[in-house]
Amino acid sequence: MRTYYLDGLGSFEGIVARDAPEPTPGPTGIVVRVRAVALNRRDVAIVNGTYPLPSVPGVIPVSDGAGEVVAVGPEVTRFRVGDRVVGSYFAKWLDGRLNIGLIDQLGCTLDGMLTEYALLDQDWAALVPDHLTWAEAASLPCSGTTAWNSLTGGEPLLPGQTVLTLGTGAVSLAAVQFAKLMGATVISTTSSDAKGDRLRALGADHVVNYATTPDWGRAVRELTGGAGVDLVVETNGPKTIEQSMRAAGLYGQVVLLITGSASRPGIEISNAAYASSMATIRRVFVGSRAHLETMLAAVAAHGLRPVVDREFDYDDVHEAYRYFDKASGFGKVVVRVG
């Protein structure tokens, strides 16, 4: 088989392809014929050497991939040959709370999915809904689980409540879709009127252009009659946290995914934005396999399809990484494997 390895940090050229023998499953192992993988921000950060969790030298990159099971070990009970599966981002975090013993991640400390045949433990995977294409299935493990956990992992989101999403990254788009499934009103921000139209088509009830409305937190509050939103999916962190706090309701939830950037290494919230608020800030790190499986069940029940921006061939991995790193698309960037 042909497999990509992360042989060096600092450049996408450090991802190199080599021939390798097809894996053989151990007692609880499964071999997955990978059909598609999808890129996330962390995949770029791992290559750049800026990801908080150091990668294993020579690791097979990328956490998110989908394919069919082609071999199983003698003690495997969760899957059989022919099953369609995706890998779970935090492979060993099955349920409950995350702890230091469960931080291993596919494509970082464990070999990932950028390979023609992936070897996983049976506990590290979940079944894929039948209606999804391979590209759509590969798009869900990280961003879909993160969006689902953001909406369901704290105080329950109730029908009729209001959710704010920021921009058109994959987590935000998934949050729009899931929030609508739950009966929420969705307000989304973007700097593009064209993307605003696409957000409305996806389900957003209101769109605020943050480029023409810099004080968009106030605009969001006006759309809620001054009450503020019940939940913010805060996907940008330092750049937007101030306005997100201003947009949140008195007892709102602000789900914080990003805490630092190259230009702003930490979170700052002014006294004016937070002093009169009882809003709760909650951190989310993707989610467990239980989160993944519950999210996939919701996707199956509602026939939901994640948004795919662009697909690349397996020979064009470097181009896919560069496009993902530089472009401001609408949806997931996918590499077709086979």
pTM equals 0.96
Name 61's Cβ contacts closer than 8 Å, sequence gap at least 6: 4, 5, 6, 15, 43, 46, 47, 107, 112, 114
Burial category of 102 from C-beta neighbours within 10 Å (exposed 0-12, middle 13-18, buried 19 and up): middle
- Measured CA to CA, the distance from residue 66 to residue 249 in angstroms comes to 39
pLDDT of residue 264: 84
| Per-residue three-class SS string for the chain | CEEEEECCCCCHHHEEEEECCCCCCCCCEEEEEEEEEECCHHHHHHHHCCCCCCCCCCCCCCCEEEEEEEEECCCCCCCCCCCEEEECCECCCCCCCCCHHHCCEECCCECCCCECEEEEEHHHEEECCCCCCHHHHHCCCCHHHHHHHHHHCCCCCCCCCEEEEECCCHHHHHHHHHHHHCCCEEEEEECCHHHHHHHHHHCCCEEEECCCCCCHHHHHHHHCCCCCEEEEEECCHHHCHHHHHHHEEEEEEEEECCCCCCCCCCCCCCHHHHCCCCCEEEECCCCCHHHHHHHHHHHHHHCCCCCEEEEECHHHHHHHHHHHHHCCCCCEEEEECC
Distance, CA of 5 to chain centre: 22
At residue 261, the pLDDT reads 80
Query: Both tokens of residue 24?
Result: 């053989």
Compute mean pLDDT per 10 residues along the chain, 338 residues long, and list them: 97 97 98 98 96 96 98 98 98 97 98 98 98 98 98 94 97 98 98 96 97 96 97 95 97 94 86 93 97 98 97 98 91 96
The separation between the first and the last C-alpha atoms of the chain, rounded to the nearest angstrom, is 11
Which of 122, 118, 108 has its CA nearest to residue 63?
108
Beta bridge partners of 188: 165, 207
- Looking at residue 168, what is its pLDDT? 95
